[in-house]
Structure 1
Amino acid sequence: MGETYFSYKDQKWCLSAQRAIYWEDEKALLIADLHCGKSAHFRREGIAVPANLVQEDLFRLQRLITQFSPSQLIIVGDMFHSTYNNDVEYFNTWRHQFPHIQVHLVNGNHDIMPTDVYVRLGIQQHDHLNIRNIHFSHDPALHAAGEAQYVMSGHVHPGVTMYGAGKQALRLPCFYFGEEYALLPAFSAFTGLYSIKPAKDEPLFVLADGEVIRMQ
């Protein structure tokens, strides 16, 4: 299935195979690690990567917005990949399709452009963001949530290594829900994966072939 509903920490989440979560009670679409501009950054350094990666990512995001009709988009860090490049202007054009949607950016380590650029793009920046009992922080290791708050984070680009017959191995992106914090998969397909090893009682959802598969 392309989506699955999951209740945790007194909230109901819709996990999408498109590497996003829809939070129905807040009409909020949650993603992490969009890394808009990363491919352009690599090309500028002379590394041959496809030129249409940001267009593909933003098209997936557009489809999610059309599907869920959120009133706000929360990006849990690394929306852009470091310094300004042409992909930022592509995002600006894309942004004009959704002027009614509030875009919240929880600053990540790559979000280093001048503040006026984010203002021009209609993006509200936050070092941390609190909504209900949920605390949004890009890096789970750096969160400053209160005891009653659950942390939603990114940064890690979580993945799980699956093993098959004949010593075959495949690493897949995942959603991880620990006792203190959750990890969202990197939204951009142009990112690496860091293998995590959750405890047996920690919910884990793997993304494969357009489906959200609960592993435990």
Structure 2
Amino acid sequence: MSDFIIDIEGEKLKLLPQRAIFWEALKTLILSDLHLGKAGHFRKHGIPISRKIHLTDLQTLERLIKNHKPERVILLGDLFHSVENNEWDDFLRFLDVYDFVEFILVEGNHDILSNYPENLPMIPLLEVSPFSFSHIREESKLYNISGHIHPGVSIRGRGRQSMTMPCFYFSKDYGVLPAFGQFTGIKKIRPKKDDRVFGIADRTIVELT
């Protein structure tokens, strides 16, 4: 896999093809929109979606923790999609296994559960200079990093072929992460002239111009 280092506000952020950011200076892993439990929500309504989808996401997160050894993981909202179910129990066990890592949940619009554990504090906004972290983009004196919209871009080949891929998006004042969860949609964005967009294709980060 190939990652990419970008400089934002004088800080080096490593963009990972697993749809996350590693802020090495602070030993912090940043990701957004796991939407755990979404498969269970579909099953409840008679649509047979496998639980393995979310187990794969947790396995990916596990590999990131083992490879990068973060001291803190910031979850930028929409950790869990709906009411408690087996996928939520899977995540609680995951927290117990990695109790030596600090997990912080920045509240998202889907984060409506009532029994968040003590080792998963949930806050509306996190400020760690020079960044502010939120689920939905917030106006801030600091550079805002958020999730929520599941950004993606479409590229076209020489013929009429096209493909849409998840992406990292950075403007002058804010950045948006792709959804970490695999069972999520993509919203195509329209970057402006000076914005930077990094697509994720074939487990590789590609800067698009």
Aligned to 2:89: 89
Q: CA RMSD in A?
A: 1.1
Aligned to 2:181: 188
**Alpha-carbon separation, structure 2, partners of 1:206 and 1:144:** 25
Aligned to 2:163: 170
Letter in 2 for 1:132: S
Letter in 2 for 1:135: S
**Alpha-carbon separation, structure 2, partners of 1:101 and 1:144:** 29
Unaligned runs of 5+ in 1: none
- Select which of 116, 119, 134 maps to 1:118: 116
Per-residue deviation at 1:88? 0.5
**Alpha-carbon separation, structure 2, partners of 1:76 and 1:93:** 20
**Alpha-carbon separation, structure 1, partners of 2:98 and 2:59:** 13
**Alpha-carbon separation, structure 1, partners of 2:26 and 2:116:** 23
Aligned to 1:179: 172
TM-score by length of 2: 0.96
Say whether 1:40 aligns with 2:40: yes
Aligned to 1:204: 197
**Alpha-carbon separation, structure 2, partners of 1:5 and 1:75:** 20
Q: Deviations over 1:121-143 (max 9, x none)?
A: x2011100000110011011xx1
Residues 152 and 165 of structure 2 are in contact (CA less than 8 Å); yes or no, is this contact kept in structure 1? yes
SS in 2 for 1:89: helix
Aligned to 1:10: 10
Per-residue deviation at 1:167? 1.7
Letter in 1 for 2:167: C
Alignment of 1:131-150 (within 5 A): 131-140=128-137, 143-145=138-140, 147=141, 149-150=142-143
Letter in 2 for 1:183: V
The answer to which of 44-53 and 177-186 deviates more is 44-53
**Alpha-carbon separation, structure 2, partners of 1:21 and 1:139:** 17
**Alpha-carbon separation, structure 2, partners of 1:48 and 1:86:** 15
The answer to which of 89-98 and 1-10 deviates more is 1-10
Runs of 4 or more, structure 1, over 4 Å off, are none
Aligned to 2:59: 59
Paired residues in the alignment total 209
**Alpha-carbon separation, structure 2, partners of 1:23 and 1:118:** 26
SS in 1 for 2:80: coil
Per-residue deviation at 1:163? 1.1
Q: Deviations over 1:59-82 (max 9, x none)?
A: 000000001000000000101112
Per-residue deviation at 1:86? 1.2
**Alpha-carbon separation, structure 2, partners of 1:82 and 1:55:** 16
